[in-house]
A and B are shown apart, each in its own frame.
Chain A
Amino acid sequence: MEWIVAIVIGVMTASGVYLVLRARTFPVVLGLTLLSYAVNVFLFTMGRLQVGQAAIISPDAHAYTDPLPQALVLTAIVIAFGMTAFLIVLALKARSELGNDHVDGLSYVAEEQTVKSRQMAGDR
Chain B
Amino acid sequence: MSSVWPVLPVLLPLIGGIVLLFCRLGGLPLQRSVSLLFTAGLIIITLKTLFVATTAGHQVYLLGNWPAPYGIVLVLDKLSALMVLLTAVLSIFALLYAIAQDTDKQGEDFHSLFQIQLFGLNGAFLTGDLFNLFVFFEVLLLASYGLLLHGGGRLRTRGGLQYVVINLIASSLFLFAVGTLYGVLGTLNIADLADKMATVSADDQGIVAAAALLLLVVFGIKAAIFPLYLWLPAAYANTSAAVAALFAIMTKLGLYAIIRVHGTLFSEQAGPLADLHIDLLLWLGMLTLMLAVFGVFAARGLKEQAAFLILASVATLLVGIGINNSAALSASLYYLVHSTLIGAAMFLLADLVSQGRGSYADRLRSAPAMSRAILLGSLFLISAIAIAGVPPLSGFFGKVLILDSAIGHPFQGWIFITVLLASLLMMIALARSGSILFYQISDEEENDGAALNAKAAAVMMALLMLSPVLVVTAGPVTMLTEQIAEQVSGSQAYIDAVLGQTAVTGK
Contact = CB atoms under 8 A, between A and B. Distances in A.
B280 interface: no
Contacts of B171: 79-80, 83
Interface stretch (A50-58, A89-97, A116-124): A89-97
A28 B169 CA distance: 10
Most buried by B among A87, A97, A98: A97
A107 to B, nearest CB: 12
A46 B180 contact: yes
B168 A39 contact: no
B161 A25 contact: yes
A86 B175 contact: no
Contacts of B169: 20, 32, 35
Interface in B105-151: 131, 135, 138, 142, 145, 149
The range of chain B's interface size is 20 to 34
Given A36-B172, A86-B145, A103 B165 contact: yes
Contacts of B178: 43, 72
B135 A86 contact: no
Most buried by A among B158, B161, B164, B165: B161
Nearest to A43: B179
Tell me whether chain B's interface is mostly helix, strand or loop, or mixed: helix
Contact of B158 (A32, A39, A69, A104): A104
B182 interface: yes
A35 to B, nearest CB: 4
Most buried by B among A47, A76, A93, A104: A76
Contacts of B165: 20, 28, 32, 87, 103
B295 interface: no
B399 to A, nearest CB: 35
B176 interface: yes
Contact of B142 (A32, A75, A86): A86
Given A28-B165, A32-B165, A79-B171, A42 B142 contact: no
B507 interface: no
B182 A69 contact: yes
Contacts of B160: 90
Contacts of B172: 16, 32, 35-36, 38-39
Given A35-B172, A36-B172, A90 B164 contact: yes
Given A39-B176, A42-B179, A83 B168 contact: yes
A80 to B, nearest CB: 8
A11 interface: no
A40 to B, nearest CB: 8
Contacts of B168: 32, 83, 87
Contact of A83 (B138, B152, B153, B158): B138
A104 B179 contact: no
A59 interface: no
Contacts of A5: none
B158 A43 contact: no
A43 B165 CA distance: 21
A47 B185 CA distance: 11
A46 B182 contact: yes
Contacts of B180: 46
Nearest to B176: A39
Given A32-B168, A83-B138, A42 B176 contact: yes
Interface in A1-50: 16, 20, 25, 28, 32, 35-36, 38-39, 42-43, 45-47
B328 to A, nearest CB: 35
Nearest to A91: B161
Nearest to B161: A94
A124 B176 CA distance: 58
A94 B158 contact: yes
A90 B149 contact: yes
Contact of B157 (A39, A94, A104): A94
A80 B164 CA distance: 12
Contacts of B158: 94, 98, 104-105, 108
Contacts of A91: 161
B211 to A, nearest CB: 11
B162 interface: yes
Nearest to A17: B169
Interface string A65-87: 00011001001100110110011
In the A-B complex, the 10 residue pairs with the smallest Cβ-Cβ separation, listed nearest first, are: A46-B183, A105-B158, A39-B175, A43-B179, A35-B172, A46-B179, A94-B161, A94-B157, A97-B157, A79-B138
27 contacts: A20-B165, A25-B161, A39-B175, A39-B176, A42-B175, A43-B175, A46-B180, A46-B183, A47-B182, A69-B182, A72-B182, A75-B131, A75-B135, A79-B138, A79-B171, A86-B142, A86-B145, A87-B165, A90-B160, A90-B161, A91-B161, A97-B153, A97-B154, A98-B158, A103-B165, A104-B162, A108-B154
Interface of A: 16, 20, 25, 28, 32, 35-36, 38-39, 42-43, 45-47, 68-69, 72, 75-76, 79-80, 82-83, 86-87, 90-91, 93-94, 97-98, 103-105, 108
Given A38-B172, A39-B172, A43-B182, 13 more contacts: A20-B165, A32-B165, A35-B169, A46-B180, A47-B183, A69-B179, A72-B182, A83-B171, A90-B145, A90-B157, A94-B158, A98-B158, A105-B158
